[in-house]
Structures are given as structure tokens and as C-alpha cells.
Amino acid sequence: GAVVSQHPSRVICKSGTSVKIECRSLDFQATTMFWYRQFPKQSLMLMATSNEGSKATYEQGVEKDKFLINHASLTLSTLTVTSAHPEDSSFYICSASALSGSTDTQYFGPGTRLTVL
Amino acid sequence: LAKTTQPISMDSYEGQEVNITCSHNNIATNDYITWYQQFPSQGPRFIIQGYKTKVTNEVASLFIPADRKSSTLSLPRVSLSDTAVYYCLVGDKGLGNDMRFGAGTRLTVKP
């Protein structure tokens, strides 16, 4: 299947700093990418939908000024957690939509573990 | 968006067939059904996708009745490594469709 990478896989930062997470589709072009957050023992929570060349669409309750999303190309989307606080510590996962003919499947990255001290 | 309902957890033993059912009563005409597997601290992994009847690949089968209001993921002869959380998602095939996860089913395979 298609491959999606994330970088970094793990990051530890001090409270108040900003952290950027990259999501790349390695072998296909992704018009749409999705960002999720997952807390321990919970399901994935959709944060935003990112379309190449346009502003991201955020889910209700997700602060767009805190979670900056940039989808600059068909293979790269970035999520920047600005002024991170301990409550932002979570597992962040991206996915990319791969369209092949009439099928459309989401492929997920390996996730980024963010720990804010 | 069609909401999905799955059992919270299931237990099985090695070598058994496991069937996980997902309810999606308000599935739309354009919606497809996709199942994912997730191990701890990893991103979900695509298992299988279907629209109606039966779909089979090298790891699983997906059974979808005619009314499409439910679907069943069938894992043949599970092993310990199949212990994971399984998610059923329902969504439009078009680009830009969003994918909201339900609670998933935590499958535990015992020796």
C-alpha cells in the first residue's frame, strides 16, 4: 500500500515552545491530508482536514491559531503546535488520501509522540 | 456522516476465526466501509474496504449485507500478533471526505 511518513517520531519540548510535525506521502500525491490526535486508551480524534493550496478545515473545538496546518505541496503537510502546554501532550497522526481510479483510501503515518514538559 | 457502533472489546484464542461487526444504520449511498487495525503507538493500518456483498484479501474478509446497515470483518485463524484495536469507518469515496473514528474494538488474542 501507499506509504506515509511523519517526522519526528517523538519530540519532547518545554512548555511555551512551538513544535512542527511533518507528514509526507512518499509514493503518491495527496490532495487531502488529515490530522488526528489520540490520547492514551482513546480513539483517534480528527483535528483538521488539509487541502493542498488552501486553508485547512478545523473540527469544532480545535483552535486554528494554536494548531497551524500548512499543506504546501501534494506530498507534504505540516502541523505546528504553537506555545505548547502539557495538555497538548498526545500522539499526533496524519493520514493522506490516495485516489486510484474510483477508489479513495486513507493511509496513515506512524504517528508523532509529543511530550510537553 | 454515518456513525458507527462496534463492540468495545472481544477476546479470542489463537487459531480461531474472529468476526467483528460494525453497525452503520445511516450509511449513505456513496459511502464505502473501511476497516483499520491499530497497534499501540502506531498509526492505523488499512485492512480492507468494500461497498457491498463480500470482499476478500490476503488478511481478511469483509461481509456487507444487502441493506449495508452493518458490516462484519472476519479474521481467519488469528494469532497473538492480531491483538490490536480494529476500527470501522464509513465515508464517501470522493476526495476531501473526512474520516471520523468511532471507539473501535479492542481484540485480545490469547494463547
**Rounded-to-integer distance, Cα B71 and Cα A40, Å:** 27
Task: Answer yes or no: are the C-beta atoms of A77 and A70 closer than 8 Å.
Answer: yes
CA proximity to A83, closest of A65, A56, A69 = A65
**Rounded-to-integer distance, Cα B111 and Cα B63, Å:** 27
- Please answer yes or no on whether A31 and B95 come within 8 Å at the CB atom: yes
pLDDT at A101: 55
- Please answer yes or no on whether B44 and A103 come within 8 Å at the CB atom: no
pLDDT at B92: 73
Task: Answer yes or no: are the C-beta atoms of A91 and A112 closer than 8 Å.
Answer: yes
Helix (H) or strand (E) holding A72: strand A67-73
DSSP A52: T
State which amino acid sits at residue A107.
Y
- A109, closest residue in chain B (CA to CA): B43
Cell output for A116: 510537553
pLDDT at B96: 43
- A98, closest residue in chain B (CA to CA): B95
Query: Of A32, A44, A46, which is closest to B95 when you measure between CB atoms?
Result: A32
**Block mean pLDDT (10 aa), chain A, length 117:** 91 97 91 92 92 88 94 92 97 85 77 97
pLDDT at A77: 94
pLDDT at A102: 54
pLDDT at B97: 54
B33 to each of A60, A91, B48, B84, how far by Cα in Å?
24, 25, 8, 19
Query: How many angstroms separate the most distant Cα atoms in chain A?
Result: 46
**Rounded-to-integer distance, Cα B32 and Cα A42, Å:** 24
Query: Of B43, B49, B103, which is closest to A105 when you measure between CB atoms?
Result: B49
For residue B86, the tally of other CB atoms under 10 A from its CB is 24
Unique residue bearing C-alpha cell 461487526: B21
pLDDT at B95: 44
**Rounded-to-integer distance, Cα A11 and Cα A25, Å:** 21
pLDDT at A55: 87
List chain B residues with pLDDT less than 70: 1-2, 93-99
A58 touches chain B (CB under 8 A): no
DSSP for B65-104, written as a single string: -TT-SEEEEEESS--GGG-EEEEEEEEESSTT--------
Q: What tens digit of pLDDT does each residue of B17-41 get?
A: 999 999 999 888 888 899 999 999 9
Q: How distant is the Cα of B49 from the closest Cα of chain A, in angstroms?
A: 8
Query: Of A93, A103, A110, which is closest to B93 when you measure between CB atoms?
Result: A103
* Percent helix / strand / coil, chain A, rounded to 5: 5, 55, 40
pLDDT at B2: 61
